[in-house]
Amino acid sequence: MAIRKEDLYRMVESLSNEDKKAAFDFMEFLIERSKNKKPESWQRIDESESDKEPLTEEEHKQLESEEGYISGEDAKHEFGLQVDLP
């Protein structure tokens, strides 16, 4: 299915600034994926040395939680926070 650039521009222009950032991040991901390579930030993680620290009880709870993962940016948007979260 062919998508016209004008339609993409119109869709992006209709987004809030916060949602434009999410769209930008997702488009960056799609571009990197289309190059069939990991994003640069993932490569840096792969190259970094393991911290060898065991997980805390809280971290184990979080991993086993059925609530799923939410990014700091999503939490900020959802709860109307005025601080930057990781």
Report the chain's mean pLDDT, rounded to a whole number.
81
Distances in whole angstroms, Cα of residue 54 to Cα of each of 13, 14, 50, 51, 61:
45, 45, 11, 9, 13
Q: What is the pLDDT of residues 44-85, one digit of tens each?
A: 777 888 888 888 898 888 888 877 667 777 777 777 777 765
The one-letter code for the residue type at 64 is E
The Cα–Cα gap between 43 and 32 comes to 12
Dig out the tokens for 55 from the structure: 């997980």
For residue 35, pLDDT beyond 60: yes
pTM of the model: 0.41
- The residue among 12 and 75 whose pLDDT is bigger is 12
Dig out the tokens for 38 from the structure: 């990991």
